Amino acid sequence: MTHRLKLGIAGLGTVGVGVWKLLNENRERIFANAGCELEITAVCARNADIDRGIDLKGVRWVDNAVELASSDDIDIFVELIGGEEGIAREAVETALAHGKHVVTANKALLAHHGNELAAIAEKHNVALNYEAAVAGAIPIVKSLREGLAGNNVSSVVGILNGTCNYILTKMASEGREFADVLSDAQKMGYAEADPTFDIGGHDTAHKLAILTCLAFGSRIDFNSIYLEGIEAITQADLKAVHELGYCIKLLGVAIRTDSGIEQRVHPSLVPLTSPLAAIDGAFNAVAVEGNYSGKIILQGAGAGQKPTASAVIADIIDIARVNALYPLGREVAKLAPYQRARMRAHEGGYYVGLAVHDRPGAVAAIAKRFGEQEISLESIIQRGTDTQSGEDAEGGGQQSVVLIIHETAEAALREALASIEADGHIADRPRMIRIEKTI
Ligand SMILES: NC(=O)c1ccc[n+]([C@@H]2O[C@H](COP(=O)([O-])OP(=O)(O)OC[C@H]3O[C@@H](n4cnc5c(N)ncnc54)[C@H](OP(=O)(O)O)[C@@H]3O)[C@@H](O)[C@H]2O)c1
């Protein structure tokens, strides 16, 4: 072992402290695999006075992350602050421009600025590694960038947000409503005080944007992602889909189609027989299909101190092995422009939930609207009074009607649902969930 690589860590929160601990705990194995010694020479966080349960003696404390990023006493800048703008972005740009390798867990930063950051890394011939940014301990970035590099990938489908998966799993297993489970998840620390980012699907979308680039060799294009969160999922939906042989998962899906790449994040019906249906609680999973590899599914802990630190350390070891690759898998100049497939052109099966006024002819009128769009129904479940909505405003009863619809164009389904709403036979907006059969 001849050389020593010096690390500067910015951010000593959950992940930063985890990286510190792992580096100390598995020191021998890490040094052996890296082929050199790794030394944390300087660190930075907001508050120098917090007891973080680690011994920072002998390590230089730097107040400003940007200053740390350009310090002479570091070779690798490890960004574990977070946030798409502000100090994290400025510090990463500074580090790359000063010829430092960068390791980050920051998916928001990469989803919004990954193309530009990768170009700076290329220009200065340094690594930009971000395994921890997607699905925690699961080595999906490495798998796409290296292990599957020879394949034409047709789809990437992932459960990428542990909070959403935890909430949906609990709702299904305990029969509780969304708001109730969310409030528990917040008390237990699984969900943030402001959970919008997770439950609205934004966090999943950040990760999907990165995976799409690696899978299809196209520029990262976060703004083209079709996005729906899990807030509208009800107990009635979960029960109905279960009877029909499905569960509901928040999926990030990227699929190559004839018209471009579909990038979408929304609740999806997953057949109970699919391996993704078995991913419960805060776990993550990613399924990739390559034309030679076939289908590959990786699953594991998608967040948390230890799993995330595991991915950060693997990235550092890669750099030590002089394994600096193109950050986005190929030269930025050779990334294709992202070509977006229109969501209305999406074709698939659907679950539709309707609260129908209990009147003669209402269900027949609804069926007629589907027929007009040449939409055929796979199954229909009709129940008496909808326990969700009870009596309607007119004092009459409601029926809960749940339909599973055969493969159809989304545009046709939206037309049919718009006509059904306009006809006035339903008490609420229709609930529509796409069925994911690619996995
Ligand atoms: N937590 C996970 O399970 C997980 C999983 C995957 C990826 N990530 C990503 O990892 C990154 C870090 O997440 P985390 O959970 O470790 O966050 P965290 O616990 O909130 O830690 C953030 C750290 O950044 C420091 N910081 C904040 N503003 C700063 C500033 N202006 N200058 C210098 N330091 C600053 C904080 O300092 P103080 O401690 O002094 O306040 C803290 O040490 C994020 O990008 C996150 O998305 C996290």
Concatenated DSSP letters of 166-192: HHHHHHHHH---HHHHHHHHHHTTSS-
How confident is the model over 63-72, as a mean pLDDT?
Answer: 97
Distance 128 CA to ligand 1 centre (A): 18
Distance 16 CA to ligand 1 centre (A): 7
Kind plus residue range of the DSSP H or E element containing 401: strand 398-409
Q: What is the pLDDT of residue 387?
A: 45
Alpha helices in 11-126 (DSSP H): 14-25, 27-34, 65-69, 86-97, 107-123
Whether the CB of 50 sits within 6 Å of ligand 1: yes
Q: What is the pLDDT of residue 283?
A: 95
How confident is the model over 48-63, as a mean pLDDT?
Answer: 95
Chain segment 236-288, per-residue pLDDT in tens: 999 999 999 999 999 999 999 998 999 999 999 999 999 999 999 989 999 99
Q: Helices 305-320 and 27-34: crossing angle, nearest 10°?
A: 30
Q: What is the pLDDT of residue 310?
A: 97
Q: What is the mean pLDDT of the chain?
A: 93
Going by CA atoms, what residue is nearest to atom 4 of ligand 1?
303
Q: What is the pLDDT of residue 386?
A: 45
How confident is the model over 304-311, as a mean pLDDT?
Answer: 96
Q: What is the pLDDT of residue 394?
A: 56
Distance 189 CA to ligand 1 centre (A): 16
| Longest CA–CA separation in the chain, Å | 84
Distance 165 CA to ligand 1 centre (A): 22
Q: What is the pLDDT of residue 285?
A: 98
Distance 183 CA to ligand 1 centre (A): 23
> Given a cut of 60, is residue 393 above it in pLDDT?
no
CATH of domain 140-301: 3.30.360.10
Chain segment 107-155, per-residue pLDDT in tens: 999 999 999 999 999 999 999 999 999 999 999 999 999 999 999 999 9
- Which atom number of ligand 1 is nearest to the Cα of residue 15? 16
Pocket test for ligand 1, best of 308, 310, 313, 315 (most atoms within 8 A of CB): 308
Domain boundaries, the chain: 4-133, 140-301, 347-435
Whether the CB of 162 sits within 6 Å of ligand 1: no
Burial of 7 (0-12, 13-18, 19+ CB in 10 A): buried
> Assign residue 188 a region: left if phi > 0, alpha if psi is -120 to 50, beta otherwise?
alpha
- Which atom number of ligand 1 is nearest to the Cα of residue 52? 39
Please report, rounded to a whole number, the percentage of residues in the chain having pLDDT higher than 90. 84
> Given a cut of 50, is residue 307 above it in pLDDT?
yes
Q: What is the pLDDT of residue 1?
A: 44
Alpha helices in 220-333 (DSSP H): 235-243, 305-320
| 186 against 109, higher pLDDT | 109
How confident is the model over 351-359, as a mean pLDDT?
Answer: 94
Whether the CB of 103 sits within 6 Å of ligand 1: no
| 301 against 395, higher pLDDT | 301
Beta-bridged to residue 215, according to DSSP, are none
Whether the CB of 12 sits within 6 Å of ligand 1: yes
> Given a cut of 80, is residue 402 above it in pLDDT?
yes
Pocket test for ligand 1, best of 12, 62, 81 (most atoms within 8 A of CB): 81
Whether the CB of 81 sits within 6 Å of ligand 1: yes
**Which two tokens mark 372?**
């007009």
How confident is the model over 373-397, as a mean pLDDT?
Answer: 72
CATH of domain 4-133: 3.40.50.720
Q: What is the pLDDT of residue 389?
A: 46
How confident is the model over 59-80, as a mean pLDDT?
Answer: 97
How confident is the model over 401-416, as a mean pLDDT?
Answer: 94
Whether the CB of 43 sits within 6 Å of ligand 1: no
Whether the CB of 311 sits within 6 Å of ligand 1: no
CA–CA distance, 339 with 375 (Å, rounded to integer): 28
> Given a cut of 80, is residue 392 above it in pLDDT?
no
Q: What is the pLDDT of residue 324?
A: 59
Q: Could you tell me whether strands 260-271 and 431-435 are parallel, antiparallel, or unpaired per DSSP bridges?
A: parallel
The CATH fold of domain 347-435: Alpha-Beta Plaits (3.30.70)
Whether the CB of 44 sits within 6 Å of ligand 1: yes
How confident is the model over 34-59, as a mean pLDDT?
Answer: 95
Please report, rounded to a whole number, the percentage of residues in the chain having pLDDT higher than 70. 96
> Given a cut of 90, is residue 92 above it in pLDDT?
yes
Q: Could you tell me whether strands 76-79 and 101-104 are parallel, antiparallel, or unpaired per DSSP bridges?
A: parallel
**Residues recognised as catalytic:** 207
